[in-house]
């Protein structure tokens, strides 16, 4: 796509603005500090998972197992902490969950980079395997008595207060984790040879091999990195929700992939932006949390997200086809 006005980022930003205008017209209290803080809070886990999914799409693959990785890492880490070291500091708990997530991501990497199996097939399989092993061998009960340090982390706030109208708002420190993930991923993609290699193999695996890129090593890194991000997202989900629920995040794959695709990442690989992904996350969070404000039943949430996916993928494809016809 050429021209700023036809970019997915611009289109998504316009849709967000229109959505906010309609929601504010329906409820003048929609754009308040309280609502915005709630939306930011709801964006943390989705944003981290979407950043990982974007990296996979850029590399030319697709991953649908990240929710199972996230939940497995969170639940395993929580149960081990309670059994071995209940007073483990929160940063060590988080590090352990990230390591578990990276380990599960490495399993994806071995099958994809090592054996050359299709990414969708592998991650569909590991989605079921990880979730099944978690429920069978680790546990299937919701744990509300979390380690004290996880509960303490959930109370750590960047800012909190009460508006003039008496409404409470709070910005958790978990938001800093999202900011760190975004900064680190942007640095890797745009400031390192590793990032250039990820774009290259997404554009053409064969061309990447010809210029000396170790495709297997890059692919393995991608899935380990995405697993680590999923582990972080999972432990944040458990901490902020103050419950280790082995059934949480089920079905979130659609929303995450929708956010990334709406942000402009191409399913064929080779393209994707952090800005577009974050805008896609913002739109999905608005849809998930605010449909009822504008008078649309929440049961229409999946329909709306599906239509947004069709719009986000169909419009660029139509524009590209039209541009190719003109060039021909």
pLDDT for residue 328: 66
Structure tokens at 186: 């942007």
- The owner of tokens 């209940």 is 86
- CA–CA dist 160, 172 (Å, integer): 8
Question: Rounded to 5 degrees, what angle do the CA atoms 268, 272, 274 make?
Answer: 155
268-284 tens-digit pLDDT: 899 999 999 999 999 99
d(CA 79, CA 85): 10
- Render pLDDT for 237-256 as a digit per residue (tens, 0 to 9): 999 999 999 999 988 998 89
* Among the listed residues 203, 241, 185, the one whose alpha carbon sits nearest the alpha carbon of residue 49: 185
Neighbours of 79 (CB within 10 A): 16
DSSP designation for 158: E
Long-range interactions of 196-199: CB distance < 8 A, separation 24+: 198/55, 198/58, 198/59, 198/222, 199/58, 199/270, 199/271
Segments of the chain scoring below 50 in pLDDT: 1-6
Write down the pLDDT at residue 289: 79
pLDDT of residue 174: 95
The string of DSSP letters for 239-297 reads HHHTSB-TTTTTTTHHHHHHHHHHTT--TTSS---HHHHHHHHHHHHHHHHHGGGGT--
Neighbouring C-beta atoms of residue 61, cutoff 10 Å:
25
3-state secondary structure of 204: coil
Q: Could you tell me the domains of the chain?
A: 8-320 (1.10.3470)
Q: What is the pTM of this model?
A: 0.93
Q: What pLDDT score does 278 carry? A: 95
Is residue 108 a contact partner of residue 63, using CB atoms and an 8 Å limit?
yes
Candidates 172, 131, 152, 134; CA nearest to 242 is 152
The beta-carbon contacts of 79-86 under 8 Å, at least 24 apart in sequence, are: 79/138, 79/139, 79/143, 79/244, 81/147, 81/150, 82/143, 82/145, 82/146, 82/147, 86/147, 86/148
Type and span of the H or E element at 178: helix 174-191
């Amino acid at each position: 796509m050429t021209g700023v006005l036809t970019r997915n980022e611009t289109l998504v930003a316009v849709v967000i603005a229109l959505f906010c205008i309609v929601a504010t017209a329906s409820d003048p209290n929609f754009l308040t500090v309280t609502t915005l803080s709630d939306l930011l809070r709801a964006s943390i886990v989705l944003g981290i998972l979407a950043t990982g999914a974007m990296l996979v799409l850029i590399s030319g693959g697709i991953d649908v197992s990240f929710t199972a990785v996230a939940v497995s890492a969170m639940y395993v880490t929580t149960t081990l902490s309670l059994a071995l070291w209940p007073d483990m500091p929160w940063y060590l708990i988080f590090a352990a969950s990230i390591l578990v997530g990276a380990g599960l991501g490495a399993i994806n990497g071995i099958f994809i980079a090592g054996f050359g199996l299709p990414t969708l097939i592998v991650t569909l399989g590991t989605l079921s395997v990880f979730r099944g092993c978690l429920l069978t061998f680790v546990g299937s009960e919701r744990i509300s008595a979390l380690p004290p340090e996880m509960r303490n982390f959930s109370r750590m706030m960047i800012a909190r207060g009460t508006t003039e109208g008496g409404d409470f708002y709070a910005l958790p420190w978990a938001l800093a984790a999202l900011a760190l993930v975004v900064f680190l991923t942007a640095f890797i993609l745009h400031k390192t040879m590793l990032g250039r290699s990820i774009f290259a193999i997404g554009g053409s695996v064969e061309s990447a091999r010809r210029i000396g890129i170790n495709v297997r090593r890059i692919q393995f890194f991608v899935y380990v990195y995405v697993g680590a991000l999923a582990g972080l997202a999972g432990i944040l989900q458990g901490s902020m929700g103050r419950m280790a629920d082995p059934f949480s995040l089920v079905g979130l794959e659609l929303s995450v992939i929708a956010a990334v695709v709406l942000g402009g990442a191409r399913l064929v690989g080779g393209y994707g932006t952090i800005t577009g992904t974050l805008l896609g996350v913002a739109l999905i969070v608005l849809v998930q949390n605010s449909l009822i404000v504008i008078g649309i039943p929440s049961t229409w949430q999946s329909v709306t997200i599906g239509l947004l996916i069709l719009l986000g993928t169909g419009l660029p494809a139509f524009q590209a086809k039209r541009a190719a016809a003109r060039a021909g």
